Amino acid sequence: MSSPSSPRSPEDELTQSEAERYDRQLRIAGFGRGSQLKLKRAKVAVVGAGGLGSAVLLYLAAAGVGRIKVVDDGVVELSNLNRQILYTTEDIGRPKPEAASRRLRELNPEIEIEPLQEKLTDENAEDLLKDVDLAIDCLDNFETRFILNRACVSNSKPLVHGAVYGLEGRLMTIIPRRSPCLACLIPRKPKEAAVVPVLGSLAGLVGALEALEAVKLLAGLGSSTAGRLLVIDGYDLSFYWIDVRRDPSCPICGEKWWIEER
């Protein structure tokens, strides 16, 4: 007598409404239901819910990433609204994770949003990242970026890094044990402006590319930007690549770290 089959999990299939919601991406060659189910099962931490994070969060939610952590300790301010398209004037004064979660649930009620009104620190980074499949850097300062980079490398979590300044944007993916990390690219904390100048549409462009990179990694599509830095010059709309090599002496991902961890 055959044994009864185990009950199917809701994550093992698409509902009728999900199949309709994601119809256009299900039609992409090489994507299909298998890739959509990978997105449905995935959990992503988006660290920073500002200009980059707004675009990332909207596109991850729209694509059907099943569980999204929104990590930010800020509140919505009037000066945010030139680029932080998740929010409206009515959101001014509200915590960003709370306002973002409400907007994302309106966009896609079939996914889970976990708002976390916290600043990423060395003390809480491991706990915040322990249950996610990858993290996305949507921060506006290198001190916290380096904390995120360390935590992702230490916990073997892929990290999609994005940054904007004025009319320049940057994008790179870090895959621990396989590619250079952020500290290989930028060994020392650079001098930073007290207030970062940025055009909103550039933050949206880089954020959209970060979301694309994350979806590809989760679904197993194409190739990533690991080991390559994409630089966008908004003044003449040029895109160019810089090869980034892993630094054997990097204190975060270098050979000494690799030997000790093994």
Residue 2 lies in a domain: no
pLDDT at 262: 39
Range of the domain at 201: 14-261
What's the rounded Cα separation, in Å, for the pair 66 and 46? Answer: 13
Mean pLDDT across 31-36: 96
In the chain, the percentage of residues whose pLDDT exceeds 90 is 88
The DSSP annotation for 88-149 comes to -GGGTTSBHHHHHHHHHHHH-TTSEEEEE-----TTTHHHHHTT-SEEEE--S-HHHHHHHH
Residue 4 lies in a domain: no
Residue 7 lies in a domain: no
| Mean pLDDT estimate for the chain | 93
* CATH code assigned at 232: 3.40.50.720
Residue 118 lies in a domain: yes
- Note the pTM of the prediction, 2 decimals: 0.93
What's the rounded Cα separation, in Å, for the pair 130 and 133? Answer: 9
Structurally, the chain folds into a number of domains equal to: 1
Residue 36 lies in a domain: yes
More confident residue, 38 or 11: 38
Over 60: is that where the pLDDT of 1 sits?
no
Residue 8 lies in a domain: no
Range 229-233 contact pairs with CB under 8 angstroms and sequence separation of 24 or more: 229/170, 229/171, 229/172, 229/185, 230/170, 230/171, 230/172, 231/168, 231/169, 231/170, 232/168, 232/169, 232/170, 232/171, 232/202, 232/205, 232/206, 233/167, 233/168
What's the rounded Cα separation, in Å, for the pair 101 and 85? Answer: 13
Helix (H) or strand (E) holding 152: helix 142-154
Between 10-19, 104-113, 147-156, the lowest mean confidence (pLDDT) is in 10-19
Residue 208 lies in a domain: yes
Residue 9 lies in a domain: no
